[in-house]
Amino acid sequence: MPAFELTDERLDNGLRLILSEDHAAPVVAVNLWYNVGSRHEPEGRTGFAHLFEHLMFEGSRHVKRGEHFAAVEAAGGTLNASTWCDRTNYYESAPSNHLELLLWLEADRMGGLLDGISQETLDNQRDVVKNERRQRMDNAPYGTWGERMHWAVFPKGHPYHHPTIGSMGDLDAASLDDVSAFFRRYYAPNNAVLTIVGDLDPDEARGWVERYFGGIPRNDDIPPPPDGTLPAAIGAEVRETVPDNVQLEKLFIGYRAPAYGTSEFDALTMALLVAGQGRGSRMHRTLVIERQLAKDVDFSPWPFVGGAAVATASATARQGVPAADLEAAMHDVLGGLADGVTEEEMARARGLMERYELGQLQAVADRADAFSECATLFDDPNLVNTRLDALLAIDADAVAQAAARVLTADNRAVLTFVPQEGR
Amino acid sequence: MTLVDQRPDSAPPRPWRFPSFERTRLDSGLQLLVCHQPGRPLAAARLVLDGGAITEPAGRAGVALLAARALPEGTESLDAFELAEAMEGMGAEIRGEVSYDSMQVRMDVPVTRLGPALALFGDVVRRPGFRPGEVERLRKERLDQLAQEQAVPGALAARAFEGAVFVADSPYARSIGGQVETVEGLDTAAIESFYRSRIDASAATLVVVGDVAGVDIAGIAADAFGQWPVDNVGQSTPVVDARDEPTRVVLVDRAGSVQSTLTIGHAGPPRRTPDYVPIDMLAMCLGGVFGSRLNLKLREEKGYTYGAFAGFDFRRHGGTFSAQTAVQTEVTADAVADAVAEIARTAESGIPEEELASTREYSVGVFPIAYERPDAVAHGLADLVVHGLADDWHDSVRSEMAAVSSEQVTKAAADHLHPDRMAIVVVGDAAAVRPGLEAAGLGSVEVREAGV
């Protein structure tokens, strides 16, 4: 993979600016990561960071309600945002002649959001977010598994104990005062990374960034993230059986994992690829093809930086297969990784990792997000150019060691979803 | 604090054209579309085959999907696991999928291994294993999937909508992939028979997109896909008649639902309708962008939903118009009434120029973003093949969009929106939402159990 060239600098107010040219298409991507997520939420305000993200689209000092979305769409652009435990990102892609407009819009809400917020917009977006929760979780089969996994893997009071979407009660409690306080505390230029990738002139882009963002004051009192330190292992297996509106039983197994950014997390990620990615994975081969206990299998690493991350694996039981049989087989497969993985398995995992990473970096929007991520979480945007090689260099021994340390019985949570009675 | 109050103006856009590609035909009859996209290291390959759901024999609904899923599950010489290990070791992922109009086998692979991956791709399609044990496993997995869909609101809504819009003997009246009764009757012989009658070089197109300079794709394809027996029996035109009934409510009971999942609409025109561009623009204004009528009303004004959408599904012989959203159970009847009112208002008075302008700009401007990635370009090229469109279609349709008028879009709304002939499908808690829906006077209300 050829390295992507980039520049990495800071404005006087602390805003970190990353520029990377790519003139393959007349498209430019603007991406902003704010170093705030659901782990920063105070007690009783779960879901607030994400609700706040919604308000960022509802108007600011010089941008009327509805104008932000309308302006970007009328420019031929696409836009969205997302919130997770460690961060909140805002991003748009547009034909490159509209870069200055995108920067003006982002600066106006970074510096002047509070002038655009009212009780009406807060109430409206609170309803929208509650419907987002209903659609994705409460009304979806197995939809609450992620929330339950947060509860099981992290102890009460830990910053990752609650999911980003939050609870209905806490969303109801959010007030305009909360919005002001959160904005003043976290939405400052020195708490953000601005990345611009695509068909741009660096000097021109720098000039616009200075013009639109340069006057926004820094905040020297941003509190550090809450302490996420906790024991490496859960300590004892956590089990929950969840009756749900489902037809097929399904198992979700989660492990407390080393934090994202460590070599152990990377080795564990390769272990999960060996175990669960693709039809050639151990879980697919054993559970789906050979023993026909599962209809499908899946896995996901949750890349958290604050103390610990999560590794999950899941399998949907075939009709008539007892969940206990499937669970025993999953434990055999996942636990067996500690006994070693073959060079063939490593080659397959490396091939899939390369395919995934290349696919992640093709569009300028995806590349911009990767630069922002690496700058925000690891203070090194150039990791985008080196992280694939680092992952491909992980050997079979490191994978087995990571599996031996993490994929253990006393470090797992097992969620079993079963059909509700009477359904 | 200093913020700049003046919203900046934008310079004119740099020109853009859809990525150029070459169309050739191999001696075997296989058509080849190759697009060199510089700087794109993950190649996308698609084999477009004449095996869509509309070509399934009577009583064998689901055979196309099962065949598409069986193809990447083994060749004559490699079983399911061995094939997966070989493909994935190259970083390749391969899967088969089915629409009403085509079967497509898709592969993504780093361009550094495109040659050997294409060779194996050829084996997958030309010399499939179709081992009875694998087919039986896939059939059971499909039956499990159909069972699980009984719990999925969107799947229940889609099934009920298709059945409510089209006459029973139309393939459009059933979801792709068949139903329990037809899938239970499928076996290896059914798949082999479907494969032999539909899958051959004379009606196949290989699309390859990525940074492929220096890769002899035509030579590799000639080896991998050459000498293909030609047995394709051709296509007959399917029945696509709509039921054409007055607007009515089909309420699918999903007890305990905290949201109602809505699909509202009727039959629509085929892809090659001459007014495709005005219709598409109409759909964008009604439910295709964030600032669309439905999303602004149901989300940004009322807070009833996380999002509301509308669009036309253009197929070769016909299609559908539908609006879709999921709303909090308590507001179901009000949300349905609002959605119906927006559709009716649009049908009656169309879209004024001031509202169309921004959507037109979006539709034209978004092309270079939409086609940045090889898989998106491959999808666009496959569409040309499936619908018999000209090589310059993407550029010409973009020019047409730039010139579309409010009068054209307003006429499209009058011609293609039929608020008095709609199926209003509601998947939700019937006990909670039925009284409101009946009181709203939207039309007759028929209640069904999920799974019936």
> What CATH number corresponds to the domain at position B144?
3.30.830.10
Q: By C-alpha distance, which of B351, B302, B292, B333 is closest to B433?
A: B333
* Window 346-385 of A, Cβ < 8 Å to B: 347-348, 350-352, 354-355, 358-359, 362-365
A374 and A381 in contact (C-beta within 8 Å)?
yes
Query: Inter-chain contact B84–A280, Cβ cutoff 8 Å?
Result: yes
Token pair of A24, please?
A: 């393959």
Task: Using the predicted structure, report yes or no on whether residue B258 has a pLDDT greater than 70.
Answer: yes
Which DSSP letter does residue B242 get?
Answer: B
B347 and B418 in contact (C-beta within 8 Å)?
yes
pLDDT tier, B130 (very low <50, low <70, confident <90, very high otherwise): very high
Distance of CA A133 to the CA centre of its chain: 17
Handedness of CA B199, B204, B209, B214 (dihedral sign): positive
The Cα B113–Cα B88 span in angstroms is: 11
Average model confidence (pLDDT) across chain A: 97
The Cα B176–Cα B159 span in angstroms is: 9
A23 and A78 in contact (C-beta within 8 Å)?
no
User: What pLDDT, on the 0 to 100 scale, is given for residue B200?
Assistant: 78
User: What pLDDT, on the 0 to 100 scale, is given for residue B196?
Assistant: 87
For residue A227, how many other CB atoms are within 10 A of its CB? Answer: 10
- Tell me: the pLDDT tens digits for B402-430? 999 999 999 999 999 999 999 999 999 99
Summarize the confidence of residues B286-314 as an average pLDDT.
97
- Tell me: the pLDDT tens digits for A222-266? 999 999 999 999 999 999 999 999 999 999 999 999 999 999 999
User: What pLDDT, on the 0 to 100 scale, is given for residue B1?
Assistant: 58
A71 and A129 in contact (C-beta within 8 Å)?
no
Where helices occur in B199-257 by DSSP H, the ranges are: 217-225
* Window 215-254 of A, Cβ < 8 Å to B: 215-217, 245-248
B48 lies in the same domain as B167: yes
Q: Is A202 on the interface with B (CB under 8 A)?
A: no
Q: Is B352 on the interface with A (CB under 8 A)?
A: no
Residue B218 CA neighbour count, 13 Å, CB half: 12
For chain A, the maximum distance between any two Cα atoms, rounded to a whole number of angstroms, is 67
In DSSP terms, B264 is beta-bridged to B323, B424
* Window 292-311 of B, Cβ < 8 Å to A: 296, 299-306
- Tell me: the pLDDT tens digits for A259-310? 999 999 999 999 999 999 999 999 999 999 999 999 999 999 999 999 999 9
Length of chain A (residues): 423
User: What pLDDT, on the 0 to 100 scale, is given for residue B27?
Assistant: 86
The Cα A264–Cα A406 span in angstroms is: 10
The Cα B31–Cα B251 span in angstroms is: 46
With a pLDDT cut of 70, the percent of chain A lying above it is 99
Q: Give Cα separations from B189 to B104, B136, B192, B193, B217 (angstroms).
A: 21, 11, 5, 6, 33
Token pair of A101, please?
A: 């407009």
Side-by-side strand order, sheet with B42-49: B22-25, B31-36, B205-210, B42-49, B103-110, B93-98
Which DSSP letter does residue B380 get?
Answer: H
Summarize the confidence of residues B337-348 as an average pLDDT.
98
Token pair of B7, please?
A: 């919203």
The amino acid that residue A100 corresponds to is: E
B202 lies in the same domain as B292: no
Summarize the confidence of residues B251-255 as an average pLDDT.
97
A274 and A337 in contact (C-beta within 8 Å)?
yes
Token pair of A70, please?
A: 């309308």
Q: Give Cα separations from A360 to A369, A384, B68, B370 (angstroms).
A: 10, 10, 27, 15
Q: Is B196 on the interface with A (CB under 8 A)?
A: no
Task: Using the predicted structure, report yes or no on whether residue A110 has a pLDDT greater than 80.
Answer: yes
Q: Is B75 helix (H, G, I), strand (E, B) or coil?
A: strand
B122 lies in the same domain as B196: yes
Summarize the confidence of residues B39-59 as an average pLDDT.
94
Token pair of B210, please?
A: 């990525």
Structural domain count of chain B = 2
What are all long-range contacts of B390-393, with beta carbons under 8 Å and residues at least 24 apart?
B391/B21, B391/B23, B392/B18
Angle between helices A263-276 and A343-360 (to 10 degrees): 110
- Tell me: the pLDDT tens digits for A353-365? 999 999 999 999 9
With a pLDDT cut of 90, the percent of chain A lying above it is 98
CA of A404, closest CA in chain B: separation in Å?
Answer: 24
- Tell me: the pLDDT tens digits for A378-417? 999 999 999 999 999 999 999 999 999 999 999 999 999 9
Query: Inter-chain contact A139–B306, Cβ cutoff 8 Å?
Result: no
Task: Using the predicted structure, report yes or no on whether residue B83 has a pLDDT greater than 90.
Answer: yes
The Cα B305–Cα B310 span in angstroms is: 14
* Identical fold between A7-213 and A238-419: yes
B215 lies in the same domain as B266: no
Q: Give Cα separations from B307 to B196, B250, B358, B435 (angstroms).
A: 44, 22, 20, 25
Residue B356 covered by a domain:
yes
Domain boundary among B156, B191, B225: B225
Please give the full DSSP string across B81-118, using - where no structure is assigned: HHHHHHHHHTT-EEEEEE-SS-EEEEEEEEGGGHHHHH
User: What pLDDT, on the 0 to 100 scale, is given for residue B233?
Assistant: 62
Query: Inter-chain contact B13–A285, Cβ cutoff 8 Å?
Result: no
State in words which class domain A7-213 has. alpha beta
Which DSSP letter does residue A134 get?
Answer: I
Query: Inter-chain contact B1–A111, Cβ cutoff 8 Å?
Result: yes
Task: Using the predicted structure, report yes or no on whether residue B230 has a pLDDT greater than 70.
Answer: no
B78 lies in the same domain as B135: yes
B187 lies in the same domain as B336: no
Task: Using the predicted structure, report yes or no on whether residue B111 has a pLDDT greater than 60.
Answer: yes
User: What pLDDT, on the 0 to 100 scale, is given for residue B299?
Assistant: 97
User: What pLDDT, on the 0 to 100 scale, is given for residue A307?
Assistant: 95
Please give the full DSSP string across A197-251, using - where no structure is assigned: EES--HHHHHHHHHHHHTTSPP-TTPPPPPP----SS-SS-EEEEEEES-SS-EE
pLDDT tier, B58 (very low <50, low <70, confident <90, very high otherwise): confident
Q: Give Cα separations from A112 to A35, A68, A298, A348 (angstroms).
A: 18, 13, 43, 50
What is the H or E stretch that residue A260 is in? Answer: none
User: What pLDDT, on the 0 to 100 scale, is given for residue B226?
Assistant: 78
Which DSSP letter does residue B32 get?
Answer: E
Supply the range of the domain harboring residue B45.
22-225
The amino acid that residue A83 corresponds to is: T
The Cα A270–Cα A287 span in angstroms is: 20
The Cα B209–Cα B377 span in angstroms is: 7
With a pLDDT cut of 90, the percent of chain B lying above it is 90
* Window 242-281 of B, Cβ < 8 Å to A: 254-259, 261
Nearest to B41 among A1, A61, A71 (CB): A1
Length of chain B (residues): 452
Task: Using the predicted structure, report yes or no on whether residue B451 has a pLDDT greater than 80.
Answer: no
pLDDT tier, B353 (very low <50, low <70, confident <90, very high otherwise): very high
ipTM for the assembly: 0.95
Query: Inter-chain contact A295–B141, Cβ cutoff 8 Å?
Result: yes
The Cα A58–Cα A64 span in angstroms is: 8
- Tell me: the pLDDT tens digits for A39-50? 999 989 999 999
Average model confidence (pLDDT) across chain B: 95
CB within 8 Å of B322: residues ≥ 6 apart: B161, B263, B264, B265, B310, B311, B313
User: What pLDDT, on the 0 to 100 scale, is given for residue B271?
Assistant: 96
Task: Using the predicted structure, report yes or no on whether residue A187 has a pLDDT greater than 80.
Answer: yes
CATH number of A238-419: 3.30.830.10
Measured between CA atoms, the residue of chain B closest to residue A200 is: B14
Instruction: Phi first, then psi: give them for residue B104, nearest 5 degrees.
Output: -130, 135
A13-28 burial code (b ≥16 CB/10 A, e <16): bbbbbbbbbbebbbbb
What residues of chain B lie within 8 A of the CB of A104, using their CB? Answer: 4, 7-8
Task: Tell me which residue has tokens 């306080």.
Answer: A181
Which DSSP letter does residue A63 get?
Answer: B
B382 and B207 in contact (C-beta within 8 Å)?
yes
User: What pLDDT, on the 0 to 100 scale, is given for residue A227?
Assistant: 95
Angle between helices A343-360 and B80-89 (to 10 degrees): 60
Q: Is B143 on the interface with A (CB under 8 A)?
A: yes
Residue of A125, A355, A356, A417 for testing the chain B interface, max B β-carbons within 10 Å: A355
A-B interface: how many C-beta pairs under 8 angstroms? Answer: 251
pLDDT tier, B29 (very low <50, low <70, confident <90, very high otherwise): confident
Q: Give Cα separations from A39 to A33, A86, A225, B153, B194 (angstroms).
A: 15, 6, 8, 32, 54
Q: Give Cα separations from A386 to A2, A81, A366, A374 (angstroms).
A: 10, 26, 16, 11
Query: Inter-chain contact B93–A355, Cβ cutoff 8 Å?
Result: yes
B79 and A278 in contact (C-beta within 8 Å)?
no
In DSSP terms, A25 is beta-bridged to none
Token pair of A423, please?
A: 């359904």
Task: Tell me which residue has tokens 């390959």.
Answer: B45
B46-61 burial code (b ≥16 CB/10 A, e <16): bbbbbbbbbbbeeebb
User: What pLDDT, on the 0 to 100 scale, is given for residue B231?
Assistant: 63
B205 lies in the same domain as B276: no
Domain ranges of chain A: 7-213, 238-419
B336 and B442 in contact (C-beta within 8 Å)?
yes
Query: Inter-chain contact B144–A97, Cβ cutoff 8 Å?
Result: no
